Amino acid sequence: MSQPTVRIMCPNLSCRKLLAVPESARSKTVRCKACHTAIRVPDAPAPQAQQSPDEQKKSA
């Protein structure tokens, strides 16, 4: 089975390649293979809290 990956886009406006980096690269800096720009891989997104049915009614 393959390792889970994070997909990020190169921020270099003349490149914009889509990169697939391993999950283990989160919070680290990688280089784009096409243009060699240094890119920081973002941290994992925080899980969203589930609202209870009562809270959903209040916000609606």
In a domain, 36, yes or no: yes
Nearest Cα to Cα of residue 44 among 20, 24, 59: 24
pLDDT band, very low/low/confident/very high, at 7 (cuts 50, 70, 90): very high
For residue 29, give its domain range: 1-43
The count of structural domains within the chain is 1
In a domain, 27, yes or no: yes
In a domain, 21, yes or no: yes
30-50 residue pLDDT tens: 999 999 999 999 998 777 776
Q: Taking 70 as the threshold, does the pLDDT of residue 58 lie above it? A: no
In a domain, 34, yes or no: yes
In a domain, 51, yes or no: no
pLDDT band, very low/low/confident/very high, at 5 (cuts 50, 70, 90): very high
- Asked if 18 and 7 count as a contact pair (C-beta separation under 8 A), the reply is yes
- How far does Cα 28 stand from its chain's mean position? 12
Give the dihedral of Cα atoms 39, 14, 3, 25; nearest 10 deg.
Answer: 0
In a domain, 32, yes or no: yes
Number of helices followed by number of strands (H, E) in the chain: 1, 4
- Tokens of residue 4, six digits: 């889970």
pLDDT of residue 48: 76
In a domain, 22, yes or no: yes
